[in-house]
Structure 1
Amino acid sequence: MKRRTHPQDFIALLAGIYAFLSPIWTTTTNKATTTMIVLGVLTAVIAVLELARADLLPAEGATALLGVLFFISPWVMSFSGTHPMAWTAWIVGVITFLVGAADLQITRSHQRTATTA
């Protein structure tokens, strides 16, 4: 399977960029802004690494982990009361987790197929 057939990495990159830029147009607090910028940049960097190196297997797990961090961040960082930014974190978190989990599954399936062939 060619790496270009993995749209998940592009989706993770877009989610990271969206999270990074979301404080511009979303009602926010200092904690929420910092959290979204840091997690957004980390997500985008991991997605770029995954796009550049197809064999970087732990990156998919890291993408899924970042999705979990996005999702729990409104409670952990105490900005769940800032509903626009909390919803942004929850939605980006779910998308990032699903993308990371799907990419991990595809990569592992491809590796199993390659080793048995």
Structure 2
Amino acid sequence: MKKWTRWEDWVAVGVGLVAAVSALLMPAMGASIPWMLTLGILLIAAGVVNLAMPGLVAMEYVQLALGALLFVAPWLGGYADMQSAAAWISWIGGAVAVIVAALAIRPAMQMHDRALPH
């Protein structure tokens, strides 16, 4: 697999971008701003690392963990109101990040195995 071509990692970067920008544009509720901004930036960074070095399996797991944290962030940050747009962005974005990271683990493992000399 070539660098900068994996759609799963581009989706993770997009989710991180949406989370980070949304944190800045929406009214604050609980600790939504620090949670969404931090996790959004970290998702962007993990996605870019995965795009640049597609054989790093550990980074796929990091991306999966960040997505899971984004999903539970509304409860941890006290903004889990069902009518909160920040909570819905966290839940949907976190679920999407977890799914695409899970889909990217097997190809990353295969690429890592091919890169190792036998």
TM-score range for the pair, normalised by the shorter chain length: 0.7 to 0.9
Instruction: Measure the CA separation in 1 of the matches of 2:27 and 2:92.
Output: 15
Q: CA deviation at 1:80?
A: 0.4
Deviations 1:65-116 (A, max 9, x none): 111101111111111026211101001000110111111122224445x37x
1:32 CA drift (Å):
0.2
Change (3 A) 1:110 1:52: closer
CA RMSD of aligned residues (A): 2.1
TM-score (norm 2): 0.85
TM-score (norm 1): 0.86
Deviation of 1:45 after TM superposition, in Å, equals 0.5
Q: Distance in 2 between matches of 1:109 and 1:54?
A: 10
Aligned length: 116
Counterpart of 1:2 in 2: which secondary structure?
coil
Match of 2:6 in 1: 6
1:78-117 matches, within 5 Å, as 78-81=78-81, 83-111=84-112, 114=114
Q: Does the 8 Å CA contact 1:19/1:36 hold for their aligned counterparts?
A: yes
Instruction: Report % sequence identity.
Output: 26
Q: What are the ranges of 5 or more consecutive residues in structure 2 without an aligned counterpart?
A: none
CA distance in 2, matches of 1:75, 1:4: 34
Question: Does the 8 A contact of 2:55 with 2:109 survive in 1?
Answer: no
1:33 Cα deviation (Å)? 0.8
Structure 1 residue 5: deviation in Å? 4.3
* Change over 3 Å in CA distance of 1:63–1:55 after alignment to 2: same
Q: Are residues 1:56 and 2:47 paired?
A: no
Deviation at 1:4, TM superposition (A): 4.6
